Amino acid sequence: MIDQNKKSFSIRRIIERGIPQILFAIATVSILTTIGILFTLLSETFLFFKEIPFVDFYTGTILKPLGENAQFGILPLLTGTIISSIIAMFVAIPIGVMTAIYLSEYASDKVRRTLKPILEVLAGIPTIVYGFFAFTFVTPFLQSFIPGLDPTNILSPGLVMGIMIIPMVASLSEDAMSSVPNAMREGALALGATKLEVTFKVVIPAAISGIIASFVLGISRAIGETMIVTIASGSSKNFTFDITQSMQTMTAYIVEVTGGDAPAGSTIYYSLYAVAMTLFVFTLIMNLIAQYISRKYREEY
């Protein structure tokens, strides 16, 4: 029995020593994946900028990747991406915050347990379904109010993206508000404040870091959206600020190039990586801003 106990103890000891190394190897998978993605983007983007000047790419207003006199200016894609994201956040932020306020401050436990799962069902709908919804329903509906609206435009996918992002903004904001101690609410109510005053003067300022972080993450989600804008916004590379016209985003351009006949090693092929690198930088900046805001204004109770 003593020999068996010694043997089992030694096996457990070996396992305990090996577990940290195994967990470390698993944890480094995501880091190595990110490094691999970044290396691929940088190497292929460098080859693109050997043929197209850096300044011309980021200041050019014409994007004509095909033909003899090909021109590569990313500003049409940047404007399409930014405008669609702004439209989405004009929809998602007010509706998401108001929903979070109701769930956190006014809804009963029974109503909250019922409505929150229903709201989060929106996050589980495939984006391609949202895209067809924007193209076949939202656009015809808007055309009845806006006669000059193109069949493919940036307004319709922007609105639908906002609907898609509502669960993210509402859920994260509601979690931030729910984390505020009830003692703060009770203290304000005891001083004579109304329910609405407690919500906007106590709860929201205390949860502002989480609320703003949900906004930034929502913007990142809108910037990286692919299928909705690919289906509903069209592929016209227009440099315009008219939301009724067809525009193309960075993600839609990536889909177009990868689904086309761009030969490997061509300029249009390398432009795919230059656009993807720009998109990577955009989302990285948004995530860094969210982390900074969350850390700077975080309230610990």
Please name the residues in contact with 247: beta carbons below 8 A apart, sequence gap of 6 or more.
76, 79, 80, 83, 84, 153, 154, 233, 234, 236, 237, 238, 240
Q: According to the model, what pLDDT value does residue 3 have? A: 52
Residue 301 has pLDDT above 60, yes or no: no
Q: What is the pLDDT of residues 30-54, one digit of tens each?
A: 888 888 888 888 888 888 888 888 8
Q: According to the model, what pLDDT value does residue 299 have? A: 60
Q: According to the model, what pLDDT value does residue 226 have? A: 82
User: Could you tell me if 163 and 87 are in contact, meaning their C-beta atoms sit under 8 angstroms apart?
Assistant: no
Residue 63 domain flag? no
Q: For the domain that residue 279 is a member of, what is the CATH number?
A: 1.10.3720.10
Residue 5 has pLDDT above 70, yes or no: no
Per-residue pLDDT band for 95 (boundaries 50, 70, 90) equals very high
Per the model's pLDDT, the better-predicted residue between 121 and 67 turns out to be: 121
Query: What tokens does 231 get?
Result: 């289906």
Assess whether 21 and 137 both reside in one domain.
no
Per the model's pLDDT, the better-predicted residue between 19 and 14 turns out to be: 19
Assess whether 122 and 20 both reside in one domain.
no
CA distances to 121, 137, 138 from 145, in Å: 29, 13, 11
Assess whether 107 and 243 both reside in one domain.
yes
Residue 301 domain flag? no
**Buried (b) or exposed (e) across 59-96, using 16+ Cβ within 10 A?**
ebeebebeeeeeebbbbbbbbbbbbbbebbbebbbebb
Tell me the average pLDDT across 97-111: 86
Assess whether 82 and 47 both reside in one domain.
no
Number of independent structural domains in the chain? 2
Per the model's pLDDT, the better-predicted residue between 120 and 72 turns out to be: 72
Per the model's pLDDT, the better-predicted residue between 263 and 173 turns out to be: 173
Q: What is the pLDDT of residues 255-268, one digit of tens each?
A: 888 776 667 777 78
Residue 97 domain flag? yes
Residue 114 domain flag? yes
Separation of alpha carbons 274 and 52, rounded Å: 10
Assess whether 265 and 150 both reside in one domain.
yes
Assess whether 93 and 46 both reside in one domain.
no
Per-residue pLDDT band for 9 (boundaries 50, 70, 90) equals low
Assess whether 43 and 114 both reside in one domain.
no
Q: According to the model, what pLDDT value does residue 150 have? A: 83
Assess whether 131 and 236 both reside in one domain.
yes
In the chain, % of residues over pLDDT 90: 5
Residue 69 has pLDDT above 80, yes or no: no
Q: According to the model, what pLDDT value does residue 181 have? A: 84
Residue 185 domain flag? yes
Assess whether 139 and 33 both reside in one domain.
no
Assess whether 45 and 194 both reside in one domain.
no
Residue 69 domain flag? no
SS3 71: strand
Q: According to the model, what pLDDT value does residue 261 have? A: 65
Q: What distance lies between CA 23 and its chain's CA centroid?
A: 29
Smallest CA-to-CA distance from 105 within 172, 180, 167 is with 180
Residue 253 domain flag? yes
Q: According to the model, what pLDDT value does residue 98 have? A: 92
Which of 6-15, 186-195, 216-225, 285-294 has the least mean pLDDT? 6-15
Burial class (CB in 10 A: 0-12, 13-18, 19+), 50: exposed
Beta bridge pairs of residue 63 = 72
Q: According to the model, what pLDDT value does residue 107 have? A: 81
- Tell me which residue range forms the domain holding 33: 2-51
Tell me the average pLDDT across 135-163: 87
Residue 146 domain flag? yes
Q: According to the model, what pLDDT value does residue 94 have? A: 92
In the chain, % of residues over pLDDT 70: 92
Assess whether 197 and 121 both reside in one domain.
yes
Q: According to the model, what pLDDT value does residue 225 have? A: 82
Per the model's pLDDT, the better-predicted residue between 88 and 236 turns out to be: 88
Please name the residues in contact with 257: beta carbons below 8 A apart, sequence gap of 6 or more.
65, 268, 269, 271, 272
